[in-house]
Structures are given as structure tokens and as C-alpha cells.
């Protein structure tokens, strides 16, 4: 990358880190929600569901707004709102207000993926876009890892809300910096509404959206239940659970960079090579979920969940890179929002099912559910690879 690309990708990644620190505090605090509000494992799943329902409701409107007015203003408002949402969660005195606060937090996070993806694809050369997306997606795992250490680490020293308050302060500071330094597009690429009918007629795109449901189910359920699993099934402390969750995010970051790099350097048509990488990641994740069900010591959990992070959390950048090979650039915000909506729906439906299986049967059955989701994702992506999209010039052009 040249200097201007590095500057832009660094700034967008910093925005993503700050946004994810705010958003993922909820996942790191599940054990504290149980203790503070007397929630069951099943009810903890609905905390994650409330968070992601807010996300889901606003994804398509936000994606369309970004295509119309540009990503800069939306990203500034989004990160400022995320900071406010994290502070609301910290101040929630009851279960209804907790659910309402996490809903607000999820709603504002809808600005993240459509806005940052558009920033990359509008400003970075095609031959560097996949690795740029991979680096930017590291912001998600890095932010989540930081939030895990903040929430679980500070709870023992101060109080469980301390991590949320620090996340809110960091988010507001980065929003101000972003407003001053980001020089990307402040206006959208179109003065008309996106061709949503064209997206609905795009068979490969719809298939990839369907695969996103299963990928999102595996990703968000893993991050939502790691700390609880390590504490309850492995018998380690909450602090150890926070470290394991941070390892999941760290190795997820590595997986996103490696996946993006492979998407740029491997030969062949972009849709085919990127789709093949995504299939491999999903199948590896399926096998590792089966292994995770047998983890019984902190060392086994750390090793297995690190590998899970590399493949299961490491596939999101590849997923969005694959999506960009199926749709035109002027519809990328809406198309990304549609894909992310499916990812989020998976995270709405499956975490309560995982929690129910853990309560009614055991954790082994719950992890097997995620293995089945990963196999289903791989099967659907295989259909995407076999079908040509009805698009002359996709957002992710053939690199030289």
C-alpha cells in the first residue's frame, strides 16, 4: 500500500476498533449480567438477541443512507452514539432498562460494516482491497479482545461497569479524531435509491446472504458464550475466561489478515478463489466446534478457542470480499447491509438455542449445533462459487 492508502486504512481501522470496543462489552459482561440481574443462561442469550435485533433493524436503512449521503457523516454520528449506548448499559438499574440499553447500542453499531466497507472500496485500489478489508476487520476482533480484557479485568479491581465507561470515553475521543482527519467521501455515489430489486434478482448474492446467517450464528454465539463456558464447564475463573475470549479475538484478527492476503495473491477469478477460502474456513470451524465440546482444562480451552477464532472469526473479511465480487460499487452499502443483516439474524436466533441446549442437555450438544451451522454455510457458499452473478462490473474488480 502507498502512504495515502495506509493512512486511510489505519484511520478506518481505528474507528472500527473503537466501535467494536463499545459493542462487544456486552459479550464480555454476560457473567456479570447473570450475577447482577439473576439471569439464566437462556436469558443471557436474549441479552445478545436484544443487542443484535437493534443491529438488524437499522442495517438496511443505514446502508441505504450511506449510499445516498456518503459514509463520513454516518460514521461520525454512529461512533458518537455507540459511546452513549455503552454508558447507558453501565447505568442500567433493571432488566428492562438493560435490554433497552443494549438495543440502542446494537442499533448504532449498524453504521459500522456498511460504512467502513464503503470507505475501503471507494478509496483503495482493487489489487489491495482484500487485504485492506482484512486489516479493517481486525478492528472488530481487536476491539472485542480489548473489551474482554477491560470488562473482566477491571471488574475485579473496580466494578463491572468500569469497562463500559472507559469504552464510552474512548469511542467519543475517536469520533472527534475521525471527524477531523478522515478525508473520504462525504457524499453518496447516487442521488437515487439503490436498485434493491436488482439485488433481489441476483441469485449468487442471495445465496451468500443465506450463508451469512450460518456464519453469523457461529461467530456471535462463540463470542457470547466463551466466558460462561470457560467458567462453568472448564471450571476456570472469569478472568481466565476473559483471557480466552481475548485470544479468540487475537487469532480472529490473524485469520482476517491471512484470509484477505490469500484473496489478493491466489490465482483465478476473484469470486471463485475468495469463495474457496470461505468454504475452507467454514469447514475448519465445524471440526473445531466438535473439538471445543471436549475441552476440559484452561489450556485445552485456550488452544481450541484460539483456533476457532482464527477460522470462525477470521472469515468475516473474506465474506465481505466475496460479496463485493457479486454486486456493483454503487449498491455496495445496501448490499453489505443485506449481507450483514443475515449475519445478525443468525446471531438473533441461535444464541438462545445454544443456551437452551446447554441448560437442557449439555454444552457438547450446544457446540455441535454450531458445527452444523458451519457445515451448512460451506455448502451454500459452494453454490455461490458455481453461479455467475448478473453484474458487468462488480465492486471488487479483477486485480492486475
Residue pLDDT, tens place only, 31-56 = 787 777 777 777 777 787 788 788 87
What was the pLDDT predicted at 91?
80
Does any domain span residue 140? Answer: yes
Is residue 399 a part of any domain in this protein?
no
9, 312 contact by CB (below 8 A)? no
* Angle separating helix axes 316-324 and 129-157, nearest 10 degrees: 150
Q: How many helices (H) and strands (E) does the chain have?
A: 16, 0
395 inside domain: no
- Which domain range does residue 305 map to? 3-181+193-386
> pLDDT tens-digit profile of 367-384?
999 999 999 999 999 999
The Cα–Cα gap between 202 and 196 comes to 10
Residue 271 sits in a domain whose CATH number is 1.20.1250.20
Number of folded domains that form the chain = 1
Which comes out higher in pLDDT, residue 356 or 184? 356
Q: Is residue 396 part of a domain?
A: no
Asked, for residue 280, whether it belongs to a domain, the answer is yes
pLDDT above 70 for 61: yes
Residue 234 lies in a domain: yes
Identify whether 82 is part of a domain.
yes
CA separation for the pair 13, 33 (Å, rounded): 29
295 pLDDT higher than 70: yes
Evaluate whether residue 344 is within a structural domain: yes
Amino acid at each position: 500500500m502507498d502512504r495515502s492508502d495506509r493512512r486511510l486504512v489505519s484511520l478506518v481501522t481505528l474507528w472500527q476498533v473503537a466501535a467494536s470496543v463499545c459493542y462487544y462489552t456486552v459479550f464480555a459482561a454476560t457473567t456479570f449480567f447473570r450475577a447482577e440481574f439473576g439471569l439464566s443462561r437462556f436469558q443471557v442469550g436474549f441479552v445478545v438477541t436484544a443487542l443484535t435485533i437493534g443491529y438488524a433493524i437499522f442495517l438496511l436503512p443505514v446502508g441505504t443512507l450511506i449510499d445516498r449521503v456518503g459514509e463520513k457523516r454516518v460514521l461520525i454520528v454512529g461512533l458518537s452514539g455507540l459511546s452513549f449506548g455503552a454508558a447507558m448499559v453501565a447505568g442500567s438499574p433493571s432488566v428492562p432498562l438493560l435490554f433497552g440499553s443494549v438495543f440502542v447500542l446494537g442499533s448504532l453499531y449498524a453504521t459500522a460494516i456498511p460504512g467502513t466497507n464503503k470507505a475501503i472500496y471507494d478509496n483503495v485500489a482493487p489489487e489491495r482491497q482484500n487485504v485492506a478489508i482484512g486489516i479493517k476487520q481486525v478492528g472488530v476482533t481487536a476491539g472485542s479482545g480489548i473489551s474482554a480484557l477491560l470488562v473482566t479485568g477491571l471488574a475485579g479491581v473496580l466494578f463491572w461497569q468500569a469497562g463500559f465507561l472507559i469504552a464510552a470515553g474512548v469511542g467519543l475521543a475517536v469520533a472527534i479524531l475521525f471527524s477531523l482527519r478522515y478525508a473520504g467521501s462525504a457524499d453518496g455515489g447516487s442521488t437515487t435509491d439503490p436498485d434493491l430489486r436488482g439485488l433481489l434478482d441476483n441469485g449468487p448474492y442471495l445465496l451468500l446472504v443465506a450463508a451469512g446467517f450460518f456464519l453469523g450464528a457461529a461467530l456471535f454465539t462463540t463470542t457470547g458464550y466463551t466466558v460462561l463456558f470457560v467458567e462453568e464447564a472448564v471450571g476456570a475463573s472469569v478472568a481466565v475466561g476473559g483471557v480466552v475470549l481475548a485470544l479468540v479475538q487475537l487469532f480472529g484478527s490473524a485469520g482476517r489478515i491471512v484470509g484477505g492476503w490469500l484473496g489478493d495473491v491466489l490465482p483465478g477469478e476473484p469470486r471463485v478463489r475468495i469463495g474457496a477460502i470461505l468454504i475452507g474456513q467454514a469447514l475448519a470451524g465445524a471440526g473445531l466446534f466438535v473439538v471445543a465440546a471436549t475441552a476440559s482444562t484452561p489450556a485445552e480451552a485456550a488452544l481450541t478457542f484460539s483456533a476457532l477464532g482464527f477460522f470462525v472469526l477470521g472469515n468475516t473479511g473474506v465474506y465481505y470480499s466475496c460479496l463485493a465480487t457479486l454486486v456493483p460499487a454503487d449498491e455496495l452499502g445496501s448490499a453489505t447491509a443485506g449481507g450483514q443483516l443475515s449475519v445478525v439474524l443468525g446471531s438473533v436466533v441461535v444464541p438462545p438455542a445454544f443456551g437452551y441446549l446447554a441448560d437442557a442437555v449439555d454444552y457438547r450438544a450446544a457446540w455441535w449445533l454450531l458445527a452444523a451451522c458451519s457445515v451448512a454455510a460451506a455448502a451454500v457458499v459452494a453454490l455461490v462459487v458455481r453461479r455467475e452473478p448478473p453484474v458487468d462490473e462488480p465492486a471488487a474488480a479483477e486485480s492486475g
